[in-house]
Amino acid sequence: MKLKLFRWQAIVPLLLLMLLLFGVWLVYSDRVVEHTIEDFGAELVGARVDLESADLRLADGVLRLTGLQVADPNSPMRNLLEADEIAADISWEPLLRKKVHIQRAAMLGVRFGTPRTESGELENPSPSSGRLLREISDWADAVRIPPLGLEALRAVVNVDAIAPESLRTITQARAAVVFADSARQLWETELSGLNPQPLIDSARTLAERLRRINPLQLGLGGATQLVNSARGTLSDLGSTRDRIAALNNAVTSGVGNLTQRVRGLSAARQDDYRYASSLLRLPSLESPELSRSIFGEMAVERLRPVLYWLGRAERFLPPGLDPRRYRGPKRPRRSGVTKLFPEPQGEPKFLLELAEVGLQIGGSGAAAGEYTSRITGVTSEPAIYGRPLTAFISRTTGAEGSQNVRLNAVVDRTGSEIRDSAAISVAGIRLPQVDLNALGARLDLNQGSTNMRLDRTGGNIVGRWTWTSDSVTWSRLSETQIADTASSARGTVQQIGRDLLWRTVSSLRQVEIDVRFSGSVTSPRFEVGSNVGGAVARALREQLGAEIDRAQREVYARVDQLVNSYVSEASAKADALETEVANRVGVQLEEINVVRDELERALRRLIPRP
């Protein structure tokens, strides 16, 4: 009997099964979309993204989301953004290629910074989110903010606190001495190994003999032997001269290196002066340094989210078209790695062509009013889309005052190099309060303006962020309110300084803070300028200048006392190396050259040229 291959009667059950699966999809598609958005959003933001409901109608090409809450990764009990409703026109055809194309999206009822009932922190953040937060924390921890301590004044300066091993000059001087000793030993061994003196002496004797001899008396055989001997000696002299010349070059270069090291000790000593001053918490009298002391913590806190979002954009808006890797989907089995292969002539994986966001901030506060925003070209593969992301936000009407809010941003990742720029200008709104531990005061910036400009090219950023207000108010922080970082600066003497600082800043009504940052995206440098720093510098000079000078002189003298012997030893070693070894090598080289010339002249006399 011939075995039948197909089970035709299974077609109907199979079709029924497909229908059943389709029915299941219809019932659960909204849940699937909801979970997908929540999971992808969490991966994108690095914090929880919650959605009340999703309604996908593929036949109409509409996706409607309600109750969106995006937690702030830097402050998990607050929402970065909350939207009542999002409506999007979605194409179904790209979905067959596992791509999402939204032609137009509108967000309604958008609010920022709303409180959350439960923490938005992720239980298992992705490795990239965790790494980014760690990198930013490491950067923030490594930022050096000079202390503004005054306890070293009006008291005996305890210079014993300056430990010799912590001074850079001593370390560098010791290294120079070690270098000098080892170089000297090496070169002397090499010079002894070469030992050119016997060769020089024998060459000199031979030259003398050649000068005195009469070639006619020697005969042909004797003259040939003497000439060959002279030529052999000349060859030996040549090779020895080459080796000594090589040694001479090494010695010259080494001595130069050592001299540079010794010269560098002056710069190291200046660093040590600064370091020792910071140990004793001597306040700087320079305005930039004081501004950094006063507003450094604030600048770090404000730059944290900027760096975080730059890092997130780095991951989800990468330049170029190289294949990208992501963690696979969550499932009982291993997730594995999902690798995306962008198609240069195709369509991006995700594209939001146009988003219009109508923002309304209610109430009668300074931020209240209506805003309009327009974002174009949000895509996961900018190089395929070929156009940069642009964002524009502007305030249309304000509830009070002459408020102005504008944001312009261009995120260009279409080429192989990142080129982004953003400018935010906010005027006439209520600026935040800032606790300034260094001053022991709280600054309420009240109504003012803030501007930020950020440009990124490749891995480097250049930016400036300013806050200006002419209606600031000050209040004193109690001892318990002052953060632990400044706790070491408490006490009676400190209180005297605090009183001085308070008298200085509390009369200021107009404040400008200017933070400029530049460098790599992961660890930028920054400088702070402020009229508060200038005012504090002037007050300190007037009130404490003489005492600071006295304390500083004591500190410098202690540093000098600790480092002088090491610097002298390093200088002496460098001089000795130059005068003894270098000169010896030079003399040997010169001697070989002289005797070589003598021998050549004597040889030419013996064999006159035609």
Distance CA 254, CA 176 (A): 11
Buried b / exposed e over 459-481, threshold 16 CB at 10 Å, is eebebbbbbbbeebebeebeeee
Residue with tokens 């524009």: 392
Degrees, nearest 5: CA angle 447-72-387: 90
Kindly state the smallest distance separating residue 127's Cβ from other proteins, in Å. 16
Kindly state the smallest distance separating residue 380's Cβ from other proteins, in Å. 14
Nearer to other proteins, 94 or 463 (CB): 94
Q: Hey, is 566 helix, strand or coil?
A: helix
Distance CA 382, CA 348 (A): 8
Nearer to other proteins, 96 or 546 (CB): 96
Distance CA 214, CA 217 (A): 6
- Binding residues for other proteins, rule: CB under 8 A, are 3-7, 10-11, 13-14, 17, 21, 93, 96-99, 323, 328-329, 331, 333-343, 346
Kindly state the smallest distance separating residue 252's Cβ from other proteins, in Å. 51
Q: Hey, is 185 helix, strand or coil?
A: helix
Structural element, H or E, at residue 503: helix 492-506
Kindly state the smallest distance separating residue 56's Cβ from other proteins, in Å. 16
Nearer to other proteins, 19 or 175 (CB): 19
CA distances to 206, 213, 234, 302, 376 from 220, rounded to whole Å, are 18, 13, 21, 96, 100
Kindly state the smallest distance separating residue 96's Cβ from other proteins, in Å. 4
Nearer to other proteins, 15 or 587 (CB): 15
Nearer to other proteins, 9 or 217 (CB): 9
Kindly state the smallest distance separating residue 31's Cβ from other proteins, in Å. 14
Kindly state the smallest distance separating residue 98's Cβ from other proteins, in Å. 4
Nearer to other proteins, 334 or 609 (CB): 334
Nearer to other proteins, 324 or 490 (CB): 324
Kindly state the smallest distance separating residue 312's Cβ from other proteins, in Å. 23
Cβ neighbourhood burial of 585 (10 Å; 0-12, 13-18, 19+):
buried
Distance CA 87, CA 352 (A): 12
Cβ neighbourhood burial of 69 (10 Å; 0-12, 13-18, 19+):
buried
Nearer to other proteins, 3 or 59 (CB): 3
442 Cβ contact partners less than 8 Å away, ≥ 6 residues apart: 433, 434, 435, 436, 474, 475, 476, 477, 481
Distance CA 202, CA 196 (A): 10
